[in-house]
């Protein structure tokens, strides 16, 4: 038996490339030789992009065009935002206080230029000096505490009584029909017109002063509460009734939230009325209070002290109103801002 061995080409690899014929005469074809993959050349390292000395951001390198173009700068630096916010706040504060500053400047210059009699309208600087003296010797604090105790006491009683009564009258028609004529008679009677009646019935002590404040504060809160309940959205009320809500839950979820703005409008009006009526009541038979301070200063011809008491009443009224506005915002967080 003979075996024929074919010599492979010189450029083919040895070993499996040989063709062997066996005894059966069947040729055995070797597997094709695999060409080794060429070694990959590592990409050249790119140099870091130059940075902009002004913005501190690196330039953007376009991989297709190969040209350097600066990266877009941010719209605004974060460091400038607090400065802009402060600037807007200062402009708004200046705009709001411009009229007040102009009034104080006119008050200061008019008596000094002889436009008005300085005896009856002293410059605001003298009023400020008198106010500081009253604060230093404790008189201003004593009179302010007495007035605030009476005013807040009567105001609180009026709110506690008027809000539930207004809800009751605004929701139940029989109660409104029964109390309607009585309310119409008393709400058209000025509180100061009844001051002598309160003094005759309750005396000249604290009871009459607190009672007149309660009477004066009752009507703004009561009437605004009745109006708020009557103007509740009927669609929301019908939807709440369709969900089988009880009357307490209906008031809690629908009536009270929708009535908060109108009720607080009446409460803010009552806060202003409580101070004004109290000052008038303190001028009759009182021994302490801002009203007593103003009246006594007038009789003693201490005009700067009189104006100091008036300014204190104005400051108390503004602070009280801001407090009520803050409470209203906290209770009206569900409302969508306009």
pLDDT in tens, 188-231: 888 888 888 888 888 877 888 888 899 999 999 999 998 888 77
Query: What pLDDT score does 333 carry?
Result: 66
Predicted TM-score of the model (pTM) = 0.66
Question: What pLDDT is recorded for position 221?
Answer: 92
CA distance 26 to 204: 138
- In contact, 284 and 204? CB cutoff 8 Å: yes
Three-state secondary structure along 241-253? HHCCCCHHHHHHH
In sequence order, the β-bridge partners of residue 27 are 21
Instruction: Say if residues 104 and 121 touch (Cβ distance below 8 Å).
Output: no
Q: How many CB atoms lie within 10 A of CB 312?
A: 20
Residue ranges of E strands in the chain: 20-21, 27-28, 60-61, 68-69
3-state secondary structure of 20: strand
Residue 213 burial (C-beta neighbours within 10 Å; 0-12, 13-18, 19+): buried
pLDDT recorded at residue 72? 55
At residue 132, the pLDDT reads 93
Nearest-angstrom CA–CA distance, 218 and 84:
46
Span between the terminal Cα atoms of the chain, in Å:
108
By C-alpha distance, which of 247, 263, 262, 241 is closest to 171? Answer: 247
Give yes or no for a contact between 211 and 150, defined as CB atoms under 8 angstroms apart.
Answer: no
pLDDT of 118-134, one tens digit each? 888 899 999 999 999 99
Q: 262-272: string of b/e by CB count within 10 Å (b at 16+)?
A: bbbbbbbbbbb
Predicted local confidence at residue 307, as pLDDT: 93
Q: At what angle do helices 139-171 and 206-230 cross, to 10 degrees?
A: 40
| CA–CA gap between residue 194 and residue 126 (Å, rounded) | 37
Cα separation, 309 vs 289, whole angstroms: 10
Number of residues that make up the chain: 338
Those residues of the chain that have pLDDT short of 50 are 1-33, 35-45, 47-67, 337-338
């Amino acid at each position: 038996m003979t075996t024929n061995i074919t010599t492979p080409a010189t450029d083919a690899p040895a070993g499996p490339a040989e063709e062997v014929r066996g005894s059966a005469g069947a040729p055995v074809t070797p597997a094709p030789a695999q060409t080794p993959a060429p070694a990959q050349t590592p990409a050249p390292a790119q140099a870091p992009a130059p940075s902009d000395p002004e913005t501190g951001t690196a330039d953007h390198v376009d991989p297709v065009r190969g040209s350097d173009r600066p990266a877009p700068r941010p719209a605004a630096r974060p460091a400038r935002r607090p400065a802009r916010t402060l600037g807007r706040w200062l402009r708004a504060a200046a705009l709001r206080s411009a009229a007040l500053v102009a009034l104080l400047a006119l008050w200061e210059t008019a008596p000094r230029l002889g436009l008005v009699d300085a005896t009856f309208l002293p410059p605001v600087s003298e009023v400020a000096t008198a106010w500081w003296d009253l604060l230093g010797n404790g008189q201003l604090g004593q009179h302010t505490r007495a007035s605030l105790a009476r005013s807040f006491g009567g105001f609180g009683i009026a709110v506690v009584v008027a809000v539930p009564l207004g809800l009751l009258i605004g929701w139940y028609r029989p109660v409104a029909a029964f109390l309607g004529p009585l309310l119409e008679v008393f709400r058209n009677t000025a509180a100061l017109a009844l001051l002598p009646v309160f003094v005759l019935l309750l005396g000249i002590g604290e009871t009459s002063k607190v009672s007149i404040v309660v009477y004066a504060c009752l009507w703004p809160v009561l009437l605004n509460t009745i109006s708020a309940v009557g103007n509740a959205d009927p669609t929301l009320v019908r939807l709440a009734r369709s969900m089988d809500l009880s009357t307490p839950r209906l008031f809690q979820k629908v009536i009270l939230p929708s009535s908060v703005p109108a009720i607080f409008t009446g409460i803010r009006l009552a806060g202003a009325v409580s101070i004004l009526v109290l000052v008038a009541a303190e001028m009759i038979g009182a021994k302490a209070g801002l009203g007593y301070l103003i009246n006594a200063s007038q009789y003693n011809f201490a005009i700067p002290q009189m104006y100091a008491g008036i300014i204190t009443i104005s400051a108390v009224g503004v602070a009280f109103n801001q407090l009520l506005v803050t409470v209203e915002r906290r209770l009206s967080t569900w409302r969508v801002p306009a």
